[in-house]
């Protein structure tokens, strides 16, 4: 009797003193996990969050609080044009990447395993080749006396060498080449999971191939399309190396505006304000798309 009484009162008596071993274990566990994550977090805090906070603060500063840097972005056509150029190039590259990438991902997803592996390998090798190497390759190919121009002349398609590089066209070609894998990989990941049974079901119900594609396959692949579009567009908005090397100083993108304001003019306020606007654009895009597709799935492809 006495023993069972003690057993009944024990839990109640133990809780107020905070000695419940399970709760204590959980707290210790939480503390340990926090500790394990903290070095990585501190690095990101110090090298990313603090600088971002500082950029925001700096963008409102010029001997005290001011909106002049933002006002300049609105007022000066150079800034406007740069943002317009950047969005135009990003739009063109993103659409082109979808047009080139969708059939490629489709072919990889529907091919027998070995051929799919070959296609993927051919996508991944450029993916892991230095951006500089690829920019250099395009400089060789597209220059006035380059391979493309001599080929066109040899075939009698053009009389004079075409200006393929040191302009917007060169920038777009090289950027597309660099970003295409970022379109193909999320597309492939999504298409691969579409059950072939569904397509057969569609066909067996009398759907013509194009109809089945349009009504079954395409809608199911849309999350991948969205992930690819977002990734390519956002990466392109912040692209720096290719426009700098391929643009010939005439194609100015937002990133170059930032770097020039810092390196040439030491205009921290202007550079910060441009950065904040770019960051807002990227943030809004992620926020909007994040409602439809988890962000981890979008950026995880990198």
Partner 1 sequence: MTDPCPLWRPAWSRWLLGLYVAAVLAFLILPILIVLPMSFSDSRFLTFPPPGWSLRWYEEFFASRSWMQAARTSLGVALLATLLATPLGIAAAYALHNTSSRLLRGLRFVFLLPLMVPIIIVAVGVFFVYAKVGLLASIPGLVLADTMLGLPYVMTAVAAGLQGFDQTQELVARSLGMNRLRAFLSVTLPQIRPSVVSGAIFVFIAALDETIVALFISGGANQTLTKKMFTVLRDEIDPTIAAISTLLTAASFALILLLALSRRRPRG
User: 168 vs 221, which CB is nearer to partner 1?
Assistant: 221
Least distance to partner 1 from the beta carbon of 94, Å?
15
User: 6 vs 23, which CB is nearer to partner 1?
Assistant: 23
Q: Determine contact, residues 168/113, Cβ cutoff 8 Å.
A: no
Sorted by sequence, the CB contacts under 8 Å of residue 153 that are 6+ apart come out as: 159, 161
CA distance 153 to 233: 34
Q: Determine contact, residues 165/142, Cβ cutoff 8 Å.
A: yes
CA distance 227 to 187: 8
Least distance to partner 1 from the beta carbon of 209, Å?
5
Least distance to partner 1 from the beta carbon of 9, Å?
30
Least distance to partner 1 from the beta carbon of 283, Å?
8
Residue of 90, 84, 81 lying closest to 175 (CA atoms): 90
Element (H, E) at 82: helix 77-110
Least distance to partner 1 from the beta carbon of 4, Å?
30
Least distance to partner 1 from the beta carbon of 7, Å?
25
Q: Determine contact, residues 101/180, Cβ cutoff 8 Å.
A: yes
User: 17 vs 42, which CB is nearer to partner 1?
Assistant: 42
CA distance 13 to 190: 55
CA 279 to chain centre: 13
Report the SS3 class of residue 65: strand
User: 72 vs 260, which CB is nearer to partner 1?
Assistant: 260
User: 9 vs 46, which CB is nearer to partner 1?
Assistant: 46
Least distance to partner 1 from the beta carbon of 98, Å?
12
Q: Determine contact, residues 290/220, Cβ cutoff 8 Å.
A: no
User: 159 vs 263, which CB is nearer to partner 1?
Assistant: 263
User: 9 vs 151, which CB is nearer to partner 1?
Assistant: 151
Structure tokens at 19: 């000695």
CA distance 49 to 198: 46
Dihedral sign (CA 155, 133, 236, 246)? negative
């Amino acid at each position: 009797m006495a023993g069972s009484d003690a057993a009944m009162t024990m839990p109640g008596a133990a809780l107020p003193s905070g000695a419940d071993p399970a709760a204590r274990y959980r707290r210790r566990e939480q503390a340990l996990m926090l500790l394990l994550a903290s070095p990585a977090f501190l690095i990101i805090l110090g090298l990313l969050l603090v600088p971002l906070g500082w950029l925001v603060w700096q963008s409102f500063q010029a001997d005290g609080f001011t909106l002049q840097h933002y006002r300049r972005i609105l007022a000066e056509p150079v800034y406007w044009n740069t943002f317009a150029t950047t969005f135009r190039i990003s739009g063109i590259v993103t659409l082109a990447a979808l047009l080139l990438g969708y059939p490629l991902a489709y072919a990889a997803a529907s091919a027998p395993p070995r051929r799919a592996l070959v296609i993927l390998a051919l996508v991944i090798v450029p993916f892991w080749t230095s951006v500089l190497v690829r920019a250099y390759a395009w400089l060789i190919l597209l220059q006035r006396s380059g391979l493309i121009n001599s080929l066109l002349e040899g075939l009698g398609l053009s009389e004079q060498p075409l200006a393929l590089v040191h302009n917007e066209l060169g920038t777009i070609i090289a950027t597309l080449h660099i970003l295409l894998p970022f379109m193909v990989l999320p597309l492939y990941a999504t298409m691969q999971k579409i059950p072939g049974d569904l397509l057969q079901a569609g066909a067996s119900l009398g759907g013509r191939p194009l109809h089945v594609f349009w009504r079954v396959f395409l809608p199911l692949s849309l999350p991948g399309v969205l992930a690819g579009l977002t990734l390519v567009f956002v990466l392109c908005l912040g692209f720096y190396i290719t426009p700098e090397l391929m643009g010939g100083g005439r194609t100015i993108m937002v990133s170059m505006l930032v770097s020039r304001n810092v390196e040439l003019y030491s205009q921290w306020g202007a550079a910060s304000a441009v950065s904040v606007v770019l960051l807002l654009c990227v943030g809004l895009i992620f926020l909007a798309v994040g409602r439809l597709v988890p962000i981890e799935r979008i950026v995880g492809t990198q």
